[in-house]
Structure 1
């Protein structure tokens, strides 16, 4: 029998069983597409930053503990001088200017992601150059290294090295920057996400920047070191622990505890580096396991569907053997049927991947192209899966059937207990997966609701904010007068940075009961009405007044009071050169200025004068039209005083919600895979039901002849499926409990794993299973018993 004839016969068999064949192909297509998308995403996530040359020699320099990533410039210089095994070391930060514009000719471009770094940045991170030499590109002031996409925006396709652009930022305007190099756009597998890198020396023209940078306690930078090839991690770490601190001020020596953190693990394990992209190892593991389970469900469905047609298949093979077909021809025939279904499923899967890739990109915050996504690894993985399925569903059954004698294949086979147990075991596995996923998604939604209901300790509704600039500072009183004329603006306040996005961390001396110690805290400067504006309660002392700025007074939160062991605010003060300065004038209630993944940490507040860098407006606009009119009036006033830096406002509640973007992403991915797993489980149930009805056709006919009611037959047919779903529920509960308990450890504020979540998932699974089975059962139960008794 030629291959073409085998394929023709296989097509004919598939055509005879259209419903089963369609279910097979749909199940395989959905399973392959979903699992391949997930596997590719997991592989790309795990390969993050692996494109960086000699990444295993690069470390993030930590301070204080394993997760402390904040350093001062002096600390970096100390390591450079004292540790010769550190081949290169760099420090950098996101540029502090909230608004940065680049002008090239008459064109003006907003720069969203600007990094400021010292001259060694591209020595530690050797990103691939398109033009120029980035290694030497940041050696002096007013130098800029840009990415290829930014180069195209500014200069088209020409080489821009040596050309200049005008730099207008919130704190520094009118500077001519020389483009010294262009690097390739950072790949999707990069935790770095910047458009350009500015030389640190450029900001030396800002007075406060220089004084801040030189202070040992101004730990606002992040350091990265590249060790030489002969240095060991353990050896360098030992030297860092005993580094000479002769140059360090006496009051800071105890707080310098250098460490190293492998940069290859930063993406998953050092989220304190906030300007880098990050993933979650546990979340990725759950997603990867889910992808594997979806693939297994698709394979199980296919096996169940094939098994459901076993008796018809046996008869066909028996007839072919009676007609003299050889071993190889039988194997070829059986394999051809699987090959056709798998081939169609693979083709449809590739087509479906191309269609849904944009949706997948949106879901995972990625930007994969089809060519980039379907890589060699993807093809090899897909071929391996298809080969395994072809062997298990085509080649092996073909070999087994070819060894059977024709008489055995042609007679009706009694179902063996081992086969029944195996098939039902596969059904149980499917519903274990489905119930566990359903429990997980309900728990995740419950946790999301818990976070929404959590009292943050401050008001965030109906508040917008925008970053100010020098032009507005100069006319701040006139601008305030303009705001007072807008009835929808009910109040305003200012702070040094955004309340829920403050990156400033201070190390300062505290004098308490005659002793001096170093304390570390999140620092934010605010104006006197800040706490009243946000509804933050002052528990002890008073708030700030108009003289608080000049006296450098502080207000701390409750956590800081406990951490610093302040019994009363009168017995402690921040160290200052003037005795009357540095008083602690109040304690405010704890409020969540960071995401609810972490507990509230120590925070200290200093008083600004009449304004600061961030403006908050409390809006009272009943309709969107009122709001738009009010914003237009605010913008008109803004543009009158600041024509070069437009008002770019955001809603504070939306900024807060953005802190949970990864959690929502995980929730969506798991929701979709839960729906897909439920679909595949139902398809598998259809296959198994089809088989059971086929096996018990004559039994149903006999029962009906003897007076059995339709309801009794339905009960008889459905009770076994209820039993297997119940077993699946018992097995799924501890698995889901363990997985969700581990996931909830990511949150400082978490919901409880309630019993009703598991019960709900079990009842939903049982209801869906009964609906799926009952249709086939009803058809069998209402069939004419005469037809059933003739059935063979």
Structure 2
């Protein structure tokens, strides 16, 4: 009996192979895409939860800022015993870091510097050695598995020595203390190696910075015991004794904590971690749910439409004596067979689409990971519920109808199809919301990239320097300016858009002295002229500025620090022994991404070659541009053979600040395409249903002389109305979602009305094209076929 049912089911599927392909393909595609989306969302929401007892780990914050001084960490370590372990870390400031072993030189792209407690606060799986004790002394390093294999192959590197060469520290012999497993893709931390902070204590200026309360450049993490009370610790942080704190900094200390698991979404200023946007993730999750609903609804509609075409077959089976149980089995077997084929297709699609998801989201998903946990539960539930709705329940209903009604294709049908129309509105509401969101996100991304940040970035390349270049001083600039196509060169301590330096200093304003906090850049005298940054008042840096200790502040800083006349203020150095003048006010420009408003920033002049070198190029075409880059490369290799040249484009690095937004846009692009495709399938199913239920009417109209276009017009009547209703529902939902999303940016585009209108017109056009195709097929069919059973 089961074999017979399978045979009949296969015969039915092959007889209606086009519709069967639409059924199976649409459902499989919808399920596959939704499972991929759910896997990505789960990864984003589980960031750092793989770390042992991660709910006991917190980020130290000061006045809602994530950066603190190392002296503050030591103060907490001494005064709050309830904190089990506390550590501090930062990205290595050297622009270039290389290690050498057996005459093989390897670049470390992401290196963080930290104290010995880092892996006790943040335990990570060890491959070799013990990370928690590996950084207790100077000149120790912990490697990730991939970096270890690049340097040592498959050897156990514990105790082996490598030569460390960085911009700020050269020819140091570093011992490998441990190797950890590569960071998982649900880790927000991004590093290839971890260096013991004591190693950098050999750099004079580093020690000076570290010992200052005003150097707010470290991220601090702490761990509490399993039964620890974070509320008690927060209270102690709030009331920590400040006896040892310098008087000028006491008023700026407002300590609190943030759970590590929340830092991925809520602390975007932490540079040693990757970050996401929680609202974006919520939107993507909802999109996945809606795509899944669309796929299931379309499948159910198409299946139910096809069931109507088989009423006569069921009636014949009843005439031949088939029992009700057999009819239910037959219909359920066909649905089960379709779902079995769909399952195989889902697994196949996931196998091929997983690589695309990894490329799009910089993840490391496997097929087994996607089909596990809640995703597997969702997949099984979809199959069970779909089988119930499209197999068992229709079998029960159809088998209970009278045989005569079945033979005449006349069961109780509500020709107004309220439910189907509601589902149609639902489908196009989703499509219009997604289309509107895509257009707005694209407009915002274009706005961020094209908006003038207040400095010139066209035809500018940059690279990081090193000690060899710095020792050349002006000779380096003179040599580079000889290259045809190089118009000018300037330097700064960090790349515009990626500055991590935060300082605290005392400001003497007339007779009043108070502490100020600001971001800091060291720059060359020609920095502002090079980037076309306008001075509001005062004078540019000159050759005497480095010795005089001249400063230039932006408009935001001047306003925030209550500076009226530049001549009335002096900035005190670290120990208050020297007064440094503020010689100019520079117009505000975006030295960070436009996610955040412009902050206070101070620029200090330094004549020596600094860590980042910028080249302004004058080239007429691509060929001369390549020649210029090649000449820079050759000259660099001659001047700095130890450190290779790494050229980056200012435009590209600025656009890279908005990688997450571009990723979000791409995800919604694919989601909208799938949504529109599924909506079209929904229209096809509804058109099939209308054609099947109005076969007699179509035939009679054609016999009485109706033209094909009149039949099409009749069948299309009402579809525009349902899309219009979907548009009205979608607009406020899309407006609210995009309004909330734009709150993540300090600078944002307008929610233009034409985007809503364009999305509605696109949806309407797609709907009418889809329906008209099916309607035309019905209108051009021979009327004899429609009337021969009447």
Matched pairs, number: 789
Q: Does 1:91 align with 2:117?
A: no
Deviation at 1:190, TM superposition (A): 0.7
Q: Deviations over 1:14-36 (max 9, x none)?
A: 12212211110110121111111
Q: CA deviation at 1:500?
A: 1.6
Change (3 A) 1:401 1:704: closer
In the TM superposition, residue 791 of structure 1 has moved relative to its aligned partner by: 4.9
- Aligned-residue offset at 1:175: 1.1
Confirm or deny: 8 A CA contact 2:35 2:370 kept in the other structure. no
Give the Cα–Cα distance (whole angstroms) in 1 for the partners of residues 600 and 342 of structure 2.
Answer: 57
Would the alpha carbon gap of residues 725 and 791 (structure 1) be closer, same or farther in structure 2, given more than 3 Å must change?
farther
Superposed CA RMSD: 1.7
* Residue pair 1:298, 1:680 contacting (<8 A) in 2 also: yes
Q: Does 1:566 align with 2:568?
A: no
Structure 2: unaligned runs, 5 residues or longer = none
Counterpart position of 2:12: 13
Q: Deviations over 1:191-211 (max 9, x none)?
A: 112111111111111111111
Equivalent in 683, 686, 692 of residue 685 of structure 1: 683
**CA–CA distance in structure 2, aligned partners of residues 515 and 699 of structure 1:** 92
- Aligned equivalents of 1:418, 1:272: Cα separation in 2: 59
Instruction: After TM superposition, give the deviation of residue 522 of structure 1 in Å.
Output: 1.0
Q: Is the partner of 2:547 in helix, strand or coil?
A: coil
Aligned counterparts, 1:307-326, within 5 A? 307-326=304-323
Shift of 1:404: 3.1
Instruction: Tell me, in whole angstroms, the C-alpha distance in 2 between the residues paired with 1:415 and 1:605.
Output: 80
Matches of 2:305 and 2:617, distance apart in 1: 65
Please state if 1:751 is matched with 2:749: yes
| Partner SS state of residue 579, structure 2 | coil
Q: Report the alpha carbon displacement of residue 339 of structure 1 after superposing the two structures with TM.
A: 1.3
After superposition, residues 444-463 of structure 1 pair within 5 angstroms as 444-463=441-460
Structure 1 runs of 4+ aligned residues shifted over 6 Å read 577-580
SS for the counterpart of 1:466 is strand
1:28 aligns with 2:40: no
State the distance in 2 between where 1:128 and 1:418 align: 64
Partner of 2:385: 388
Pairing 1:649-664 to 2, within 5 Å after superposition: 649-664=647-662
Tell me the residue number matched to 1:779.
777
Aligned to 1:3: 2
CA distance in 1, matches of 2:378, 2:219: 39
Distance (whole Å) between structure 2 residues aligned to residue 543 and residue 737 of structure 1? 46
298-307 vs 372-381, greater mean Cα deviation: 372-381
Contact 2:311-2:409 at 8 Å conserved across structures:
no
What is the Cα deviation at residue 419 of structure 1? 7.0
Structure 1 residue 212 corresponds to structure 2 residue 223: no
Match of 1:302 among 292, 299, 311: 299
1:203 aligns with 2:200: yes
Q: CA deviation at 1:617?
A: 0.4
The 5-angstrom pairing of residues 321-336 of structure 1 reads 321-336=318-333
| Distance in 2 of aligned mates of 1:432 and 1:759 | 13
Q: Aligned partners of 2:349, 2:290: CA distance in 1, in Å?
A: 20
CA distance in 1, matches of 2:372, 2:97: 37
Look up the match of 1:119: 116
Equivalent in the alignment of 2:592: 594
SS of 2:52's partner is coil
How far did residue 415 of structure 1 move?
5.8
Return the alpha-carbon distance in structure 2 between the equivalents of residues 531 and 650 of structure 1.
Answer: 20
3-state DSSP class of the match of 1:501? Answer: coil
Kindly provide the CA deviation profile for residues 143-192 of structure 1, in whole angstroms up to 9, marking residues without a partner as x: 11111222222222221111111111111111111111111111111111
| Residue 497 (structure 1) aligns with | 494
- Normalised TM-score (structure 2): 0.97
Q: Gaps spanning 5+ residues in structure 1: where?
A: none
Among 623, 626, 648, the alignment partner of 2:624 is: 626
Cross-structure match for 2:346: 349
Q: Pick closer, same or farther for the CA change 1:314–1:77 going to 2, 3 Å.
A: same
Q: SS of 1:177's equivalent? A: strand
Secondary structure, counterpart of 1:660 in structure 2: helix
Post-superposition offset of 1:394? 1.4
Pairing 1:170–2:167 present = yes
Offset, 1:571: 2.5
Task: Report the Cα distance in structure 2 between the residues aligned to 1:229 and 1:29, rounded to whole angstroms.
Answer: 45
Q: CA deviation at 1:465?
A: 0.7
Contact 2:99 2:162 in 1 (8 A): yes
Q: How does 1:50-129 map to 2 (within 5 A)?
A: 50-65=49-64, 68-129=65-126
CA distance in 1, matches of 2:692, 2:534: 72
CA contact (8 A) 1:553 1:581 kept: no
Q: Alpha-carbon deviations, 1:526-549, whole Å to 9, x = none?
A: 111100000000001111112221
Residue pair 2:309, 2:692 contacting (<8 A) in 1 also: no
CA distance in 1, matches of 2:101, 2:367: 34
How many angstroms apart in 1 are the aligned matches of 2:135 and 2:595? 37
Question: 1:552–1:583: 8 Å Cα contact kept in structure 2?
Answer: yes
Q: Distance in 2 between matches of 1:108 and 1:382?
A: 49
Please, what TM-score do these two structures have when normalized by structure 1? 0.97
d(CA) in 1 for partners of 2:167 and 2:619? 30
SS at match of 2:387: helix
Deviation, structure 1 residue 402: 3.1
CA–CA separation in structure 1 for the residues paired with 2:73 and 2:31: 50
Whether contact under 8 Å (1:549, 1:608) holds in the other structure is yes
Partner of 1:694: 692
| Corresponding residue to 1:764 among 742, 762, 772 | 762
Asked whether the equivalents of residues 464 and 618 of structure 1 are also in contact (C-alpha less than 8 Å), the reply is yes
Q: Secondary structure at the match of 1:585?
A: strand
CA distance in 2, matches of 1:408, 1:706: 28
Task: Give distance in 2, aligned partners of 1:357 and 1:569.
Answer: 59
- In the alignment, the residues of structure 2 paired with residue 611 and residue 180 of structure 1 have an alpha-carbon distance, to the nearest angstrom, of 34
**Residue 551 (structure 2) aligns with:** 554
Alignment of 1:614 with 2:612, yes or no, is yes
- The residue aligned with 2:399 is 402
1:479, 1:638 within 8 Å by CA — same for their partners in 2? no
Q: In the TM superposition, what is the alpha-carbon distance from 1:376 to its structure 2 partner?
A: 4.7
Aligned to 2:712: 714
Q: Residues 415 and 693 of structure 2 are in contact (CA less than 8 Å); yes or no, is this contact kept in structure 1? A: no
Residue in 2 that maps onto 1:293: 290
SS of equivalent to 1:582: strand
Contact 1:541/1:586 (<8 A) preserved: yes
